[in-house]
Structure formats: structure tokens, C-alpha cells
Amino acid sequence: SEILELAANPDRDADGVVLESRVDRGRGVVCTCLVQRGTLHVGDIVVAGSEWGRVRAMTDERAQNRVEAVPSTPVEVLGFNGPPSAGDEFVVVDSERRAREISEFRSMRSRDDASARSAVLVNMDQMFLQAGEDGLQRLPMVIKGDVHGSVEAVTSALENLSTDEVAVQVLHAGVGGITESDVVLASASKAFIVGFNVRANPQARELAQRDGVEIRDYAIIYNIVDDTKAMLEGMLKPALREHKLGNAQILEIFDIGKVGKVAGCRVTNGLARRGAKVRLLRDDIVIHDGTLKTLRSFKDDVREVKEGFECGMSFENYSDLRQDDVMEFYEVEEVARTLDS
């Protein structure tokens, strides 16, 4: 800074940036600010984002009380009516009326932006409707944390879990304890609430129990990520894996009255099983894929026939069978998928 001759004017109203904010049980809203220009005094009226307040007290990095903070000084400020977001710029204004006007305007604009982002997804029916349109299933949640840095870290970590099939939908993320308004929002959107180092007040917890809203309390981000990942994986459609059972070759075709065409076959490898799926191959080309109508051995209905034995078979709703055709038996199993697969 000396080489670049960086300088700031201390003889003006202060402005700077919010580094962090939190709600302290004993002191209220505590906001860590870095003064960039001017001098911040106890008693100044400040606006940061959509929050405002009068500076009641300031402490430095040694927890010593300060009555003023000059440029390049980080201080903890008490007096905001709500926790501003990390990264918000703060400015000193000349009156409480002006501070309220700025705060109300920014709050209104923030609400309009949030409404525009979530207007299509305010309830489960609409969520499934959109999922049907774009193929994306969404997991709605409300996130509350102790400090803005934690809330941003949790939100970012969960949103990074999203794929082109499933995604986390954060309806609201904020600092402070879980309130009744959080429960109302979660209830209307069929979402659950994640609390990171915060708890619900008694009224909110009672309302959540009444409305069936799940509140999950966490102290470690990795636990939130792991649980959310498991829920997203549960929303994925299972993968279908084919398991080959065996082949049978048609030796002769019999036309039996009401039954229709029955193929006399020999199982050449593996086994033939009733209930399994069957492909009919002619010259190594699949010409039909269906299910068996009958599987008999020595005129008896059987569940399966092993390699080397002969049997009689017929397809369900298909009769174009020829000598030397091959029947390929297979099963399809559903395999749970992960977000990485």
C-alpha cells in the first residue's frame, strides 16, 4: 500500500463492506464490517443491503470497545435490526427516515426477485408438473444457519449435488433461528427445514409438528450433504441391468388345436425359466421380445428347464416360430443409482 500510495479520506461519512453477520443470543445482531472509506462512529445510522440500524457499540479484533473506526479497520458492529448478507456494502446515512426508505425499497425488490424465481414452484403439484416438462425432479428445502457464511456454504454445497435428473431447490436461506414463517413456507411447498447450528423456537416446533413439517438439526455441513445426497439418490429412477439366463434352440414346431403353435426345444446352455423375458432370434437377429405362455417338460408344466433337457414352449400372443430359431432367456433387475452414476 505504501508503494502504490493507497489512501482513503477519513474525514467523511463511512462506507465499506460486510464480512459476516450473525444473531447472538445476548447481543442481538452482530455484524463484522470492514471500513473502506471515511470514519465510522458510535451513533451513526448505517444501511447494509436491506437492513439498517444505529451503531450501538463497536469492538475491534481484540474485543476492545471502539468509539470510531477509520479506513481499513475491521470492527464488530451492534445495532442492526436484522443480519445483512456477507458481501453487502454498508453506508452511513443522515437520518433514520432515509435508512428506512432505502431498507424498504431493497426489501421489496428482494421479495419480488424471490417471488419471480419460485413462482412456478410454490406447491408440490406444480413441482411435479414442471418435473414432467423438463424431466427434473426437485427436492425443496428451507435453510437456516447461525451466520451468513455458513448458510452460503451449505446452500452452495447442496446446489452442487444437482444433476440433470434431480436438483435441490432452496426456497429460502437465512440467518437466525427457525421461525413460524419458515414452517409456513415449508408446509406450503412440501419442503423440509435444515437448521445449521440453530434451533426452532417453541411456537415454530409446535406448528411444524401440527403441519407435518420435518425439521432437521445439524452441526456439521458434511452430514447435511450426505443426508441430502441420499435423498436425491432415492429420487433417481433405478438403472435396469440385464442378466442372461440361457438359450434354447427350436427343434420342431407342433400345431396343437386351441393352444396354437408350440415349439419343441432343447436348452443349449444355462436354463429356461418361466416368468423370465424371452427374445426370439433368427439368424442372430432379434425378431420378437416377449414372455412365455407355456413351459412344459414331459407334458407337465414346470418352472424351469436346465441345460441339456428338452421341453415345449409357446409365446404369449406370438406364433411365428420356425425350426432352428433360438430363444434367449434373460431377467432385468433394478439397481439403485448414485449421483455419480
pLDDT per position as a tens digit, 215-228? 999 999 999 999 99
pLDDT number for residue 121: 44
- Reported as a single tens digit per residue, the pLDDT across 150-178 is 898 999 999 898 888 888 999 888 888 89
| Long-range contact set of residues 202-210: C-beta below 8 Å, sequence gap at least 24 | 204/177, 204/178, 204/179, 204/180, 205/178, 207/180, 207/183, 208/183
Q: What is the dihedral of CA 19, 216, 82, 168, to 10 degrees?
A: 70
**Residue 124, pLDDT above cutoff 70:** no
Q: Is the pLDDT of residue 128 over 60?
A: no
Evaluate if residue 111 carries a pLDDT over 80: no
Instruction: Check pLDDT > 50 for residue 104.
Output: yes
pLDDT of residue 125: 47
Give me the amino acid identity at 224.
Answer: I
pLDDT value for 115: 60
Could you read off the pLDDT of 260-287 as tens digits, one per residue?
788 899 999 999 988 888 999 998 899 9
Question: What's the pLDDT at 9?
Answer: 87
> What is the CA 42 to chain-centroid distance, rounded?
43
Average pLDDT over residues 118-133: 48
Q: Which residues contact 29 (CB under 8 A, 6 or more apart)?
A: 21, 22, 23, 51, 53, 78, 79, 80, 81, 82, 83
Taking only the tens place, the pLDDT of each residue in 207-217 is 999 999 999 99
Comparing C-alpha atoms, which of 338, 123, 107 is closest to residue 237?
338
Query: Looking at the predicted structure, is the pLDDT value of residue 337 above 80?
Result: no
Rg (CA), the chain: 34
Could you give the CA distance from residue 288 to residue 318 in angstroms, rounded to a whole number?
8
Grade residue 113 by pLDDT with cuts at 50, 70 and 90: low
Cα(324)–Cα(282) distance, rounded to whole angstroms? 8
| Amino acid of residue 68 | E
Q: Which long-range contacts (CB under 8 A, 24 or more apart) does 119-128 make?
A: 121/169, 121/171, 121/189, 122/188, 122/189, 123/188, 123/189, 123/190, 124/189, 124/190, 127/169, 127/189, 127/190
Q: Is the pLDDT of residue 234 over 80?
A: yes
Grid cell locating 81? 435490526
pLDDT at residue 117 tops 60: no
Q: How much is the pLDDT for 114?
A: 58
Percentage with pLDDT > 90 across the chain: 41
Cα(270)–Cα(273) distance, integer angstroms: 10
- The model's pLDDT over 15-56, given as tens digits with 9 standing for 90+, comes to 999 998 888 878 889 999 999 999 999 999 999 988 999 999
> Higher model confidence: residue 67 or residue 340?
67
